[in-house]
Amino acid sequence: MKTILVMLSLFVASVCNAQSPYPSRTVSIVVPFTPGTGADVIARLLQPKLAERLKVPVVVENKVGASGAIGTEFVAKAAPDGYTLLFTATAHGTVPALKRSLPYDAVKSFTPVALAATSALALVVGPQVPAPKMEDFIALAKKSPGALHYSSPGTGSPQHLTMELVKLETGIDVVHVPYKGSAGAAADLVGGHVQSTVAALQTMAPFVTSGRLRMLAVLSSERSPAFPDVPTMRELGHPRLVVDTWYGIYAPAGTPREAVARLNAEVNALLQLPETREAFAKQGLVPVVDRPERLSELVEQELVRWNRVVASSGIRE
């Protein structure tokens, strides 16, 4: 009799769950990075409108540590029901290349929801560098291997790996100088203590327009509307130097297709709103409206790329 009652209660619960439309309770968006970083800013920008469209509360939580691995693991091990999401960034594709072991698989542990946005990276130099064009910088670096230095926000950062990719593809030898964050990396470049860096175009724009730095190339697939005279690395004969910073949303592996489809549709709708596009433009972001698989395809390509760079540079942790 007890067994029958247990089975009956489970059956009733399953029927109730099946009849509950998604979503029916609070959706949590986990950002595995500190407040104020790109992923956090975008997640909080989308959060109120997403709550309106889903008609349930949406909360943003920061679970930081281990270059994003702590928050990412939390979502990987969460119930695959569509109520715990990961709002991540470029590091999702770089960290697996850097770390010998992780408690999750960057592809298999997740279901893609949406690639939300990208932003351009630029290679910039200080005004003291006698290289008005990218070709001149490459020639200068080849003439004096190891004489030029570049800054980054830290060892293993996407900016660090991107410059290592530039070195690999162009055959130059410039020395890495890691800093603890973007502010120091930019300040010492402006101050002339290092000669170059790869950084977000939007971050470098004020220094370039004021003449304190010179932008030699962008690493996006197309020229930036803000700097139409600056060529892409692809134009300069380096087709594999197309690198964007990106931001995307994942759910745990096994999340129902219906929940993923609903989330993807609502996020895409938000990204097409004029106010969203305006807010993104101020941050140097390009909204991406696409199917969920676009995110997983991108990450698979990123993993191949960054594993190659890390193996070449020998910086695996």
The per-residue pLDDT for range 60-85, each reduced to its tens digit, is 999 999 989 999 999 999 999 999 99
Alpha-carbon distance of 92 to 303, in angstroms, equals 9
Residues 6+ apart with CB under 8 A from 185: 151, 152, 153, 159, 179, 194, 197, 199
- Does residue 139 have a pLDDT over 90? yes
The per-residue pLDDT for range 196-251, each reduced to its tens digit, is 999 999 889 999 999 999 999 999 999 998 899 999 999 999 999 999 999 999 99
DSSP assignment of 18-30: HHSPSP-S-EEEE
At 316 the pLDDT is 76
Alpha-carbon distance of 100 to 123, in angstroms, equals 29
For residue 244, give the H/E element and its range. Answer: strand 244-252
Residue with tokens 């004096």: 144
Residues 6+ apart with CB under 8 A from 131: 125, 137, 139, 140, 216
Residues 6+ apart with CB under 8 A from 173: 141, 142, 145, 146, 167
The per-residue pLDDT for range 12-42, each reduced to its tens digit, is 444 444 557 999 999 999 999 999 889 999 9
The per-residue pLDDT for range 140-171, each reduced to its tens digit, is 999 999 999 999 999 999 999 999 999 999 99
The per-residue pLDDT for range 1-14, each reduced to its tens digit, is 445 544 444 454 44
Of residues 317 and 181, more confidently modeled:
181
Beta partners for residue 152, in sequence order:
178
Is the domain 120-218 a CATH 3.40.190.10 member?
yes
At 238 the pLDDT is 97
Residues 6+ apart with CB under 8 A from 161: 94, 97, 306, 309, 310
Alpha-carbon distance of 297 to 310, in angstroms, equals 20
- Does residue 172 have a pLDDT over 80? yes
Alpha-carbon distance of 244 to 220, in angstroms, equals 6
Domain limits, the chain: 24-118+245-313, 120-218
What number is the average pLDDT over the span 86-96? 97
Class of domain 24-118+245-313: alpha beta
Tell me if domain 24-118+245-313 and domain 120-218 are identical in fold. yes
Alpha-carbon distance of 306 to 92, in angstroms, equals 11
The per-residue pLDDT for range 252-278, each reduced to its tens digit, is 999 999 999 999 999 999 999 999 999
Q: What is the DSSP letter of 66?
A: G
**Total-model pTM:** 0.88
